[in-house]
Amino acid sequence: MTQRQFITMVTICFLVLLNSGCNQGENSIGVEPSGSIASTSVPQVPEDFLLTLDYKVQNHPDTFAVEVPQNWEVKLGEYPVGLYWRLANEFSKDAGLDLTLLKGATVEVQRYSLVDGLPGSGEQKEFSYPSNLVLLVQSGNTVGAWLEFNIQSIGPSIKKRSLTDITGFTFEEWTKREGLFAKEGENGDLASLGHFELLDAFFQAIQVGNHTRARACLNPNALLTALTVNRQEHQLYNPGFGGENALSESIVEAKPTSYKVMDYDTGSEIKDIGDRTTLNIVVDLYMKSLNPVFNTPDGRETRFAVLTKHANGWKIGGFGTGP
């Protein structure tokens, strides 16, 4: 027997002993907390990988195939598929599984619903939210793993660690470190615009149907939301920008009449924004949405825009219907 065969046999014996202590319910799979994380030194089939985790999951996962793109570059205004994979990889690497090894490959997705969900954070930590465990499987072995908090979020890791826990950066800081959205192309002029001018540029782009330019006015968080909001079954992320998942596509006509920077705490107008990097702006406008359900009878609306300042200028985080 070679040394490699001996090590493999010992590992298999360990897994058999570990599995013998599992409690399998009729509607779930789970184990008593062990604190262990699957090792990548020996390939593991999903069933064995699940047994190393502290989660109870529904027996039958949502299963489908996905092609991992070869190119993870993210250009401003283009659909940020690379953002999904870079972010998922941060969480998967926390489990010892590097997704960059899968570039260009087609893998199986096994998405399990967590029986107990995941707790929120801060004031919401006492509440449980429906969440999923995502496994990527290739040649029968687990090659990727992370969680989907509240079903549509990318992350946390299977150790319940956030992006900041893993990298030491906030999402915005991480996108800058990764060089995401840095290549502006023909929309590089947006970086020099003031906050009101950026809103003008966004609405003008909507009016003429220049969706790429409209998307270039959105901040990384808005683009992250476009990846998974209203995601359909058998998908890791939406196939592209659309009226149900992207601000730039959900508005078909918009003509602003006035802007006002607002202090939400006092409700008063701010004349001098100083060195603020986040602004709340009251926008009065005529607007027509792709979904007529959201249109007012005369088209006149007041929206509350959130703008954030980045290395490439002001960007829009979203338009709310109230402060």
Question: How would residue 322 be classed by pLDDT, with cut points 50, 70 and 90?
Answer: confident
Tell me the pLDDT tens digit for each residue of 255-288.
Answer: 999 999 999 788 899 999 999 999 999 999 999 9
Measured between alpha carbons, how far is 185 from 162 in angstroms, rounded to an integer? Answer: 32
Listing from the earlier edge strand, what are the strands of the sheet with 106-113?
A: 62-67, 106-113, 132-138, 141-148
Q: What is the DSSP string of 113-145?
A: EBTT-EE-SGGGTTSEE--EEEEEEETTEEEEE
* Residue corresponding to tokens 């502290």: 54
Contact 217, 190 (CB under 8 A): yes
Residue 320 pLDDT: 86
Tell me the pLDDT tens digit for each residue of 75-85.
Answer: 888 999 999 99
* Crossing angle between the packed helical segments 81-93 and 220-228, to the nearest 10 degrees: 90
Measured between alpha carbons, how far is 159 from 155 in angstroms, rounded to an integer? Answer: 10
Tell me the pLDDT tens digit for each residue of 152-166.
Answer: 899 999 999 999 999
On average, the pLDDT of the chain sits at 87
Could you tell me which of 50, 63, 51, 56 has the C-alpha nearest to residue 26?
Answer: 56
Tell me the pLDDT tens digit for each residue of 89-131.
Answer: 999 999 999 999 999 999 999 999 999 999 988 888 889 999 9
Q: How far is CA 100 from CA 35, 70, 163, 245, in A?
A: 26, 9, 18, 27
Tell me the pLDDT tens digit for each residue of 61-72.
Answer: 999 999 999 999
Residue 38 pLDDT: 41
3-class DSSP assignment, residue 67: strand
Q: What are the start-end ranges of the E strands in the chain?
A: 23-24, 28-30, 57-58, 62-67, 106-113, 118-119, 128-129, 132-138, 141-148, 251-261, 278-289, 300-310, 313-320
Residue 53's contacts (CB-CB under 8 Å, 6 or more residues apart) are 31, 38, 133, 158
Cis amide leading into 156 (omega within 30): yes
Nearest 5°: the CA angle 268, 274, 278 is 70
Q: Is the pLDDT of residue 2 over 50?
A: no
| pTM as predicted | 0.84
